[in-house]
């Protein structure tokens, strides 16, 4: 037979201070870990959206980002040689020339105290067919030849002054006023952090004669590496990347940030494991006679071992739930909106951190691991107690 | 029986618990000492920048906009007597990359005449300034870059620009900068760059940023306002910031690792305090009888308080040493570089970090031990002996 849960619960309550302190340690570690976990998941989710295998981003040879690339009109025209380009409504080739500039906007979360660079992309209407996941969510599309823009939903959420109907200043000197006429969503991907306008108008505003990049949609089932080789070949002489490759290269900085954070959290986890171990060892030491009596009554060693592990589990799960609660409260208070700069784009990728059910489950799973790791040695010692010796210490 | 002997004996009483506590203490303390070293390093860099009294002037819309060269003369004309402003140095972003590498290095083209004055902290000697003026391809390189590319004074190397028109230029090293804050930077002559751009038929000439060296803090404040007012409502409106504010924009942009580490160190302190409190309370509870015996023999209450506190502090300090020493040695042998830590060359252990971490340990030891120590002090011998029996 096994020990009842009520027994374990009462034992935890018997040493209230110790229980409380250990619960707090676990809670602190879990709160930090859950935040990191949610951050990573949110970023991965955003980048995963930008993983369309049939969309290629064409840049100048040697460029690492759209912001640093310049493609002449002649080079753009050479791209139409590719046989595998898909065709859209009316038979038009799904080739979208784009021009990328930046604008500096105040963040909403600290009432405009800090600013970040947002990407402004000049596109032609064909871009909506190339970037299939871009859909209008409010207002309407910009008219051609007019100073109007549409703003990505994530950008509108996280930065001030981008509501439908507001005006933003673009241009080198910030002297061309553009009106926001709509919002768009892009499945939560990186494009949602951008502002889109009509290509020729924006190129004129920024005095540009060359495109920054070209987005190409290929027919389904094409051999993508072969097309990339053709783009890099002597006929076209540009560089091609699948969308997934492009965005994952931009998240290199964030990966470093996450690696540092992960390292720190792992160290803290180990400290929490040791903390649980200390508590359990002390609990065992204080209850040796009780264990001896339980053994005399007929409880098996396995029951004692699992009993102590269960106690540690209860302790840690309490801490885990508290930690997730603290993390949720923190996200609610400080806001779950983060933005990070791409490695070479100099523009920001905005995303929202949410505490989802899966994140909580993941954290609690780690808590279970923590509890078992910390409690195994003390529980083992408890189960190996010599009944006669401990009962003699009367 | 000295205090030290008793304390040591107590720790040896339960070696398992002592070890576990020490390790549970050591791990967060290791993080803590690294965090404090980072904060100290950043603070030092910020203070060094403050001493240099430089203002950064760039286009209001974005740093990537080119400002015309003529703006430098206008800024200098704000103070013809040179009472508030010493010199102005214009810089242009080059964004060089070693051939066959994807890493963009922080390479800037600076005005030849004023660079040694405005960037006096680089410490160019008279010969080096001479070489800077005479050699068109002169380059001043930071320590980290020089190490990575194995450069020495007199070496020639070439970099390819990552921005249009993607020029490839050759440089010659005339100085290697010893400062930490400049370890990953490289400066070369802007006239060399402009000549090359002209040959490549690139139409845009000018600077991304003007660095204004001021004579004092009040001068900085007034000049900051005046420069922005001078260019207000023109096509090239400016934003003028002091150097620390300018740099912090970049640190924020790359994920704000220093901020992250500072946040985590707060959590770490919290955790350590809890672990210490937990352990001391547990050990106290087990030793009520022993302390009562001490009292019965005749040890004064004050001494008993000292014993409990002393044990707590000893545990905290030894645990911390276990964490601080390996991390400090590790960082001293191999400082962490290249983690976008901000304007410091790398994460090095700082004496402030070690002292800070150990003081924190003593404080936590005291805080954790004070409650049990007070209870020990107030212990009524008879009750304690009776209860324990």
A46-62 pLDDT, tens digit per residue, is 777 777 788 999 998 87
Residue among B255, B275, B278 minimizing CB distance to A253: B255
- Stretch B135-147: mean pLDDT: 91
Q: Which long-range contacts (CB under 8 A, 24 or more apart) does A364-368 make?
A: A364/A317, A364/A320, A364/A321, A364/A324, A366/A30, A366/A33, A366/A269, A367/A26, A367/A30, A367/A316, A367/A317, A367/A319, A367/A320, A367/A323, A368/A313, A368/A316, A368/A317
Q: What is the pLDDT of residue A182?
A: 95
Burial class (CB in 10 A: 0-12, 13-18, 19+), B383: exposed
Q: Which residue has the higher pLDDT, A1 or B94?
A: B94
Residue ranges of B 198-257 with Cβ closer than 8 A to chain A: 234-237, 252-255, 257
CA distance B278 to chain A (A): 6
Residues of chain A contacting residue B60, judged by C-beta atoms under 8 Å apart: 174
Q: Respond yes or no on whether the N-terminal peptide bond of residue A343 is cis (omega within 30° of 0).
A: no
User: Does this complex have an ipTM over 0.90?
Assistant: no
E strands within chain A? 55-59, 95-106, 115-123, 135-139, 148-152, 167-170, 176-185, 194-198, 213-217, 239-242, 337-341, 348-352
- Stretch B174-196: mean pLDDT: 90
Residue ranges of B 259-318 with Cβ closer than 8 A to chain A: 260-261, 264, 267-268, 270-271, 274-275, 277-279, 281-282, 285-286
Q: Which two tokens stand for residue A322?
A: 């508290």
Q: What is the pLDDT of residue A213?
A: 94
> A interface mutation test: which of B14, B23, B36, B275 has the most A CBs within 10 A?
B275
Q: Do A67 and A346 touch, CB atoms closer than 8 A?
A: yes
Q: Do A267 and B27 touch, CB atoms closer than 8 A?
A: yes
Q: Do B129 and B110 touch, CB atoms closer than 8 A?
A: no
Phi, psi of B68 (to 5 degrees): -65, 150
Measured between alpha carbons, how far is A394 from A236 in angstroms, rounded to an integer?
A: 91
Residue among A117, A275, A285 minimizing CB distance to B278: A275
> A interface mutation test: which of B15, B24, B164 has the most A CBs within 10 A?
B24
Q: With an 8 Å Cβ cutoff, is A173 touching chain B?
A: yes
Q: What is the pLDDT of residue B10?
A: 72
Q: With an 8 Å Cβ cutoff, is A239 touching chain B?
A: no
Residue ranges of B 7-46 with Cβ closer than 8 A to chain A: 14, 16-17, 20-21, 23-25, 27-28, 30-31
- Stretch A291-297: mean pLDDT: 89
Q: With an 8 Å Cβ cutoff, is B367 touching chain A?
A: no
Helices and strands (DSSP H and E) totals, chain A = 13, 12
Residues of chain B contacting residue A319, judged by C-beta atoms under 8 Å apart: none
Phi, psi of B76 (to 5 degrees): -65, -35
User: Is A211's pLDDT higher than 90?
Assistant: yes
Q: What is the pLDDT of residue B344?
A: 63
Torsion of CA A161, A163, A164, A165, to 10 degrees: -30
Distance of CA A235 to the CA centre of its chain: 39
- Stretch B52-76: mean pLDDT: 89
What is the b/e burial string over B110-123, where b = at least 16 CB atoms within 10 angstroms of the residue's CB?
bbbebbbebbeebe
Q: With an 8 Å Cβ cutoff, is A146 touching chain B?
A: no
CA distance A106 to chain B (A): 12
- Other beta carbons within 10 Å of A5: 12
- According to DSSP, the β-strands at A213-217 and A239-242 are unpaired
Residues of chain A contacting residue B237, judged by C-beta atoms under 8 Å apart: 173-174
Residue ranges of A 327-366 with Cβ closer than 8 A to chain B: 340-341, 344, 346, 348
pLDDT in tens, A229-274: 999 999 999 999 898 888 877 777 677 777 877 888 888 888 888 8
Residue among A18, A173, A278 minimizing CB distance to B20: A278
User: What region, left, alpha or beta, does residue B53 occupy, with left being phi > 0 and alpha being psi -120 to 50 degrees?
Assistant: left
Q: Which long-range contacts (CB under 8 A, 24 or more apart) does B146-151 make?
A: B146/B173, B146/B176, B149/B98, B151/B176
The terminus-to-terminus CA distance of chain A in angstroms comes to 27
Highest mean pLDDT among A67-71, B89-93, B247-251: B89-93
Measured between alpha carbons, how far is A36 from B264 in angstroms, rounded to an integer?
A: 11
Of all residues in chain B, the one with the smallest CA distance to A282 is B282
Instruction: Report the percentage of chain B scoring pLDDT > 70.
Output: 94
Q: What is the pLDDT of residue B159?
A: 93
- Stretch B259-287: mean pLDDT: 79
Q: How many CB pairs under 8 A join A and B?
A: 144
Q: Do B226 and B85 touch, CB atoms closer than 8 A?
A: no
Residue ranges of A 21-60 with Cβ closer than 8 A to chain B: 21-22, 24-25, 28-29, 31-32, 60
CA distances from residue A56 to A46, A121, A170 in whole angstroms, order as listed: 18, 16, 28
Residues forming beta bridges with residue B185, ordered by sequence position: B106
pLDDT in tens, B313-340: 888 888 888 888 888 888 888 777 655 5
User: Is A208's pLDDT higher than 60?
Assistant: yes
Structural domain spans, chain A: 5-48+252-392, 50-250
The conformation of residue A203, written as its DSSP 8-state character, comes to: H
- Other beta carbons within 10 Å of B22: 22
CA distance B281 to chain A (A): 8
Q: Considering the entire predicted model, what is its pTM?
A: 0.77
Instruction: Report the percentage of chain B scoring pLDDT > 90.
Output: 31
Instruction: Report the percentage of chain A scoring pLDDT > 70.
Output: 97
Residue among A261, A277, A278 minimizing CB distance to B260: A261
Phi, psi of A85 (to 5 degrees): -70, 135
- According to DSSP, the β-strands at B336-337 and B346-347 are antiparallel
User: Is B244's pLDDT higher than 80?
Assistant: yes
Q: What is the pLDDT of residue B252?
A: 66
Q: What is the pLDDT of residue A126?
A: 92
User: Is A173's pLDDT higher than 80?
Assistant: no
- Stretch A346-352: mean pLDDT: 76
pLDDT confidence bin for A344, thresholds 50/70/90: low
What is the b/e burial string over B351-371, where b = at least 16 CB atoms within 10 angstroms of the residue's CB?
eebbebbbebbeebbeebbbb
Of all residues in chain A, the one with the smallest CA distance to B277 is A21
Structural domain spans, chain B: 3-46+256-388, 61-236
Measured between alpha carbons, how far is B10 from B291 in angstroms, rounded to an integer?
A: 12
CA distance A88 to chain B (A): 33
């Amino acid at each position: 037979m096994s020990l009842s849960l009520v027994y374990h619960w009462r034992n935890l309550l018997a040493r209230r201070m110790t229980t409380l302190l250990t619960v707090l340690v676990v809670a602190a570690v879990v709160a930090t870990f859950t935040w990191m976990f949610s951050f990573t998941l949110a970023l991965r989710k955003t980048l995963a959206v930008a993983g369309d295998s049939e969309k290629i981003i064409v840049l100048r040879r040697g460029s690492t980002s759209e912001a640093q690339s310049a493609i002449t009109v002649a080079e753009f025209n050479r791209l139409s040689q590719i046989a595998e380009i898909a065709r859209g409504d009316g038979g038009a080739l799904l080739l979208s020339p784009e021009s990328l500039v930046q604008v500096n906007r105040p963040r909403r979360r600290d009432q405009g105290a800090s600013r970040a660079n947002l990407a402004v992309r000049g596109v032609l209407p064909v871009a909506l067919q190339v970037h299939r996941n871009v859909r209008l969510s409010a207002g309407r599309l910009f008219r051609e030849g007019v100073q109007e823009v549409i703003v990505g939903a994530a950008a509108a959420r996280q930065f001030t002054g981008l509501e439908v109907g507001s005006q933003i200043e673009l241009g080198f000197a910030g002297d061309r006023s553009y009106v926001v006429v709509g919002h768009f969503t892009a499945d939560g991907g990186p494009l949602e952090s951008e502002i889109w306008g009509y290509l020729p108008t924006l190129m004129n505003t920024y005095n540009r004669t060359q495109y920054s990049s070209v987005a190409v949609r290929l027919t389904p089932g094409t051999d993508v590496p072969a097309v990339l080789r053709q783009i890099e070949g002597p006929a076209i002489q540009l560089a091609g990347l699948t969308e997934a490759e492009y965005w994952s290269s931009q998240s290199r900085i964030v990966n470093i940030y996450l690696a540092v954070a992960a390292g720190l959290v792992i160290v803290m986890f180990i400290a929490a494991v040791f903390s649980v171990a200390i508590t359990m060892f002390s609990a065992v030491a204080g209850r040796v006679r009780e264990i001896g009596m339980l053994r005399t009554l007929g409880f098996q060693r396995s029951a004692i071992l699992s009993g102590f592990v269960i106690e540690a589990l209860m302790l840690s799960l309490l801490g885990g739930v508290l930690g997730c609660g603290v993390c949720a409260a923190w996200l609610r208070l400080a806001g779950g909106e983060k933005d990070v700069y791409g490695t070479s784009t100099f523009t920001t990728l905005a995303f929202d951190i949410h505490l989802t059910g899966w994140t909580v489950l993941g954290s609690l799973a780690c808590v279970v691991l923590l509890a078992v790791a910390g409690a195994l040695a003390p529980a083992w010692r408890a189960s190996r107690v010599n009944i006669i010796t401990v009962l003699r210490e009367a | 029986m000295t205090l030290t002997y008793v304390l040591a004996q107590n720790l040896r009483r339960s070696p398992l618990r002592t070890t576990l506590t020490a390790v549970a203490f050591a791990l967060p303390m290791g993080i803590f000492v690294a965090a404090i070293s980072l904060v100290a390093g950043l603070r030092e860099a910020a203070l060094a920048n403050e001493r240099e009294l430089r203002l950064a002037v760039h286009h209001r819309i974005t740093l990537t906009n080119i400002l015309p060269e003529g703006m430098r003369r206008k800024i200098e004309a704000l103070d013809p007597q040179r009472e508030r402003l010493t010199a102005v140095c214009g810089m242009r972003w080059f964004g060089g990359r070693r051939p066959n590498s994807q890493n963009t290095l922080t390479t800037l083209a600076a005005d030849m005449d004023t660079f040694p004055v405005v960037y006096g902290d680089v410490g160019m000697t008279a010969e080096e300034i001479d070489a800077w003026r005479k050699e068109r391809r002169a380059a001043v390189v930071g320590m980290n870059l020089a190490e990575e590319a194995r450069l020495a004074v007199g070496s020639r190397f070439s970099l390819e620009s990552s921005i249009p028109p993607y020029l490839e230029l050759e440089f010659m090293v005339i100085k290697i900068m010893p400062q930490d804050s400049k370890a990953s930077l490289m400066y070369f002559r802007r006239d060399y760059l402009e000549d090359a751009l002209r040959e490549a038929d690139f139409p845009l000439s000018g600077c991304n940023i003007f660095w204004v060296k001021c004579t004092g803090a009040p001068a900085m404040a007034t000049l900051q306002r005046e420069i922005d007012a001078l260019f207000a409502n023109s096509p090239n409106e400016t934003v003028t910031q002091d150097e620390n504010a300018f740099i912090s924009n970049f640190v924020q942009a790359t994920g704000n690792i220093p901020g992250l580490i500072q946040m985590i160190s707060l959590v770490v302190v919290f955790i350590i305090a809890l672990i210490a409190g937990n352990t001391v309370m547990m050990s106290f509870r087990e030793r009520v009888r022993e302390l009562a015996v001490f009292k019965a023999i005749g040890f004064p209450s004050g001494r008993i308080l000292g014993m409990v506190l002393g044990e707590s502090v000893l545990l905290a300090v030894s645990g911390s040493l276990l964490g601080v020493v390996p991390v400090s040695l590790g960082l001293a042998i191999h400082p962490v570089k290249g983690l976008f830590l901000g304007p410091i060359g790398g994460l090095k252990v700082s004496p402030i970090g070690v002292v800070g971490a150990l003081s924190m340990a003593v404080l936590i030891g005291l805080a954790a031990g004070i409650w049990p120590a007070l209870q020990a002090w107030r212990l009524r011998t008879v009750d304690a002996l009776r209860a324990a029996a």
